[in-house]
Structure 1
Amino acid sequence: MLAALGGIIAVPLVVGAALKLPADQIITLINAALLGSGIVTIIQCKGVGPVGIRLPCVMGTSFAFVGAAISIGLEHGVPAILGSSLAASVVMIVGSCFMPKIRKLFPHAVTGVVVTMIGLSLVPVAVDWAAGGHAPGAVYGSPLNLGIAAFVLVTVIMLVQFGKGIVSAAAVVIGMFIGYLLCVSLGMIDFTQVQNAPIFALPQPLHYGMTFPVAGIVAMAIAYLVTMVETTGTFMALGAATNTKMRGKTLARGILCDGVGSAFAALMSSPPVSTFAQNVGVVSLTGVASRHVVALTGVMLLLAGLFPVLGAVVVTIPQPVLGGAGLMMFAMIISAGVQLLSHVEHTKRNGVIMAVSIGCGLAVTVRPELLSQLPAFVKEVFGSGITVGALVAVALNLVLPERPVELTDDDEEEEVPPQAFLTSEREAA
């Protein structure tokens, strides 16, 4: 739970900050995300009919949807994010029946680009957090803000590098907790939200309502396609960690749970969910691969979602603390993408695919005003650097012809083990 918690709460915080939502709405998003993640984790681990892979998987809100969610939310608000997520989840539900064909659209060059773009798109968010944010009264880039962010970052690095077991796995959450205590001692935290928040509350389905903009559904559908491929890689790594053979039907059950779970999460006012790769690392680290143990993680997340006061505490975390932890978290996503790209065959064709797609994705990320003169439909679909990078990579992979590779004597002597790509994904996880 600790390994997943940082990622689960980060998504509603990023989206809420980008849309400038009031604190009480961000609290509702956080609790909905915890509740939805918990319930879908239990279903994924235990299985309900054809839904659920029945392996130790922790589900949580995914960063792959952040870019599309912000783009949709800026134009239509939170109801459109949830409505688009619900409608587009059909892509994943139906796609679970056609995984071999969909997987061909996303070779490792494309997957590596997508993972890298997710990290690159989120780093500016962490930088703004570290500087103190743009809220009224905040001093952007003040020495105090940067000092706290640096302190948290160094703490997380030390815990990752020198910690063992659960300390290393939960380094981000522990680092945030230490930074939080530092800010409490400095008198930087206002506990008004915590005092006003109810201790216990039942879930509120359709709390924000729903709208279904066509452009938003298209943008979310693309994000779902990307997530399907990421989740497949995570399942393959999980199979290696648990000595389980990943057959087509097994993968289909897991992908189907992602789709059905995201639809359920949308009804519960939560962003979409997907399988968390970092928890595969926890399975390898601890040697505990019981799906029943991991299902208890789902129970704990579910219970956490029933206590709004916990979400209120999360909202009081100062932005520099989030920035120090977020910089580490998002940079690790970049690292995972780079590791995937490093195992891609070094050809001129693959080089063009990676360079152009990352360049186009960064163009939208760094200069979002680039699309300001285009129709609203185009801005919503292509407003996310992750979406642009993924679409350009898939298009180039389909259009550019593959040329046969001439092997040298050295190439013939050195054989690449068939597990090379699987190993890279496992290391990334």
Structure 2
Amino acid sequence: MSNISPPNAAASGLAALTGRVVFGFVGTWVFALMAANLVPVLIAAMVQDLGVDIAAAGALATGMTAGSALAMFVTNRFIARADRPKLGRIGLVLMVLGYGFPAAVLTTPAVMIGLIVGGIGAGIMIATGTAAASSTRNPDRTVTSIMVINRLGAAALLAIAPIFHNDLRTVLIVIAALGVLGLLLAGGLPNLPASALDATGAVDTADGRVRRTVGAAALVFAVSILLWSLTEDMVYSMTSVLAQQSDISPETNSSLLAGKVLGGLVGALLAPLALRWLGRSWSFALIIAISTITKFIMVTSTTPVAYTVAILVWGVMYGAILVLYTGLAAIMDVTGRTGVLVSGFYLAGVAFGPLVGGQLVGLLTPLQYAVTVTIPSAIFAAALFVIARRSRKFEQGNTTAVPVVKAAAAQPDTAPVQQH
């Protein structure tokens, strides 16, 4: 016979992935990431229409992404109890103003200020969506669905980008329009139920405040993903140089970059299968190993075939890693604070990767550069392998982010499941 405990009240209060909830994520998280995906187009448009050089345009893009990362860190201080739809709309308003104003006043100072304001808005939106994913019943499924939608949207935007003719005003209007549409959709974002927050033990019952402690695993996770994303973008931002080294034309390289984005969609779809077949820890080990090898080949390659195969496989692995790491961060903490912390460090790496890569690519030999960008990947894989192995919940995935042990301890009369 079996004694089956009643459902965990904290877990049952989490949001299901309904159509309204999905649209809420699309209107905030996905739209914010789409703005980031248009950075290469923005850089080219700024060079053409503002007359700035590539270094200055890249610095402006770095400022935009750094603003997003900073906004995430600030937002993380109150994300647990925040009204997520309202917070998401604040980010969307900043996004509309940040990109809409310079579209009307197309000057270098206006674009500079607008990109930073828009980047801050995007950071608030990403933080809100990331935290909201932890408040759903199945964070892994939520993350996979949103990342697949994001990859589809990014691929579609990049596919139609040539019709913009690198016109800066058009690109800014498109991003601002996404923000306006997001204002209509953001209401579907789920908030964290009080029962789930209480189950974490993070609430100080004396004054009702949420303690903002972050575990050692979350800190190791955040630092390792900073190193990984930094080196990933040190490669991505230097693809024009690396492609030329492999005798690939700029036009062909643009097509390969689009192929890489589509590969990310394939990787996002494959990640749940890898999680189911291999478990999270071995999925991380295998996928990051393949990604690291392909990065090494890209940097050291001198032939078109090797470079082409490497960048396309690298794109697939990148999409899979995004899904797996975001899912792990989501189930580590139902309040979403761990997810926002980790994603903030990821964005910081994305922001400064082009800057560091631009300084080092001309100073180091291809072999030295390859070693520089691959060692952090090995550290990242080792850290995530250990974190995923710490808990069966982390390892298996497809589970709620509610700390079940603590929630069960709060209900001493509830008997555990026993099989006879």
TM-score by length of 2: 0.30
Structure with more of its chain in helix, by fraction:
2
Structure possessing the higher relative contact order (Cα contacts under 8 Å, 6 or more residues apart): 1
TM-score by length of 1: 0.30
